Chains A and B, each alone.
Chain A
Amino acid sequence: DVKVTQSSRYLVKRTGEKVFLECVQDMDHENMFWYRQDPGLGLRLIYFSYDVKMKEKGDIPEGYSVSREKKERFSLILESASTNQTSMYLCASSLDSVSPLHFGNGTRLTVT
């Protein structure tokens, strides 16, 4: 069974801090994704990666960056956290573009 693990379930950070959200998958999947989920807005894609060191912007990349140095790990970075980045962040992976996504449990980030 595929497991996608997000390093933190809950995180509280201050405005202006640099924040790292880590995600690891154990099934050798090519693709990895970062989404944010907000009430009434559904899931919105921030960034995705289809290979090591490759990244593509999603629908809302502003204020975020990502890193994929190893196939199993995909990190989301908030260079300078702001209150409007308070949200639930979901990491996912998939074998290929049309395969189902496997999601982690999510990280609820609060920026104060």
Chain B
Amino acid sequence: AQKVTQAQTEISVVEKEDVTLDCVYETRDTTYYLFWYKQPPSGELVFLIRRNSFDEQNEISGRYSWNFQKSTSSFNFTITASQVVDSAVYFCALYGDSGAGSYQLTFGKGTKLSVIP
């Protein structure tokens, strides 16, 4: 079975602070994909990034960066100089073999980020 753990249920930061959202995953698969999604208060989940298991390069997109470490089975997400618009629930997800050749996408329970002005 595969599993995604987002240990931080809720985080509050003051605007302009940096914040890291943790994601730890479990899988027996050697080929898998990791995702991050953002769900703002409006409700619609928006895709942020996808990483495959063979690409451990970190990625930066503006104020967002992602750190993928296979050695620790983690795919952490950092927001630099946070803004109020970053307030949302963030989900980490894993696509892989959940067992007996059954491939599916498994979501973590999400981390609610509140950025206080």
Q: Tell me the count of chain B residues lying within 8 A, CB to CB, of chain A.
A: 21
Q: Is B44 an interface residue (CB 8 A)?
A: yes
Residues from chain A with Cβ under 8 Å of B43 in the complex: 88, 105-106
Q: Is B105 an interface residue (CB 8 A)?
A: yes
Q: Is the CB of A102 within 8 A of B47?
A: yes
Q: Tell me the count of chain A residues lying within 8 A, CB to CB, of chain B.
A: 18
Out of B52, B103, B105, B109, name the residue touching A101 (CB < 8 Å): B105
Tell whether A100 pairs with B107 under 8 Å between CB atoms, given A42-B91, A43-B91, A88-B43.
no
Q: Is A78 an interface residue (CB 8 A)?
A: no
Q: Is the CB of A105 within 8 A of B47?
A: no
Tell whether A45 pairs with B105 under 8 Å between CB atoms, given A98-B95, A100-B50.
yes
Out of A42, A92, A102, name the residue touching B108 (CB < 8 Å): A42
Q: In the complex, what residue of chain B is closest to A58 when comparing beta carbons?
A: B104
Q: Is the CB of A105 within 8 A of B44?
A: yes
Residues from chain B with Cβ under 8 Å of A106 in the complex: 43-44
Residues from chain A with Cβ under 8 Å of B37 in the complex: 101, 103
Tell whether A101 pairs with B33 under 8 Å between CB atoms, given A42-B108, A45-B105.
no
Q: Which residues of B contact A (CB under 8 A)?
A: 9, 33, 35, 37, 42-47, 50, 52, 91, 95, 103-105, 107-110
Q: Which residues of A contact B (CB under 8 A)?
A: 40-43, 45, 58, 88, 90, 92, 97-98, 100-106
- Offer 21 A-B interface pairs, CB within 8 angstroms, sorted by A: A42-B91, A42-B107, A43-B110, A45-B104, A90-B45, A97-B103, A98-B33, A98-B50, A98-B52, A100-B47, A100-B50, A101-B45, A101-B47, A101-B105, A102-B47, A103-B44, A103-B45, A103-B46, A105-B42, A105-B43, A106-B43
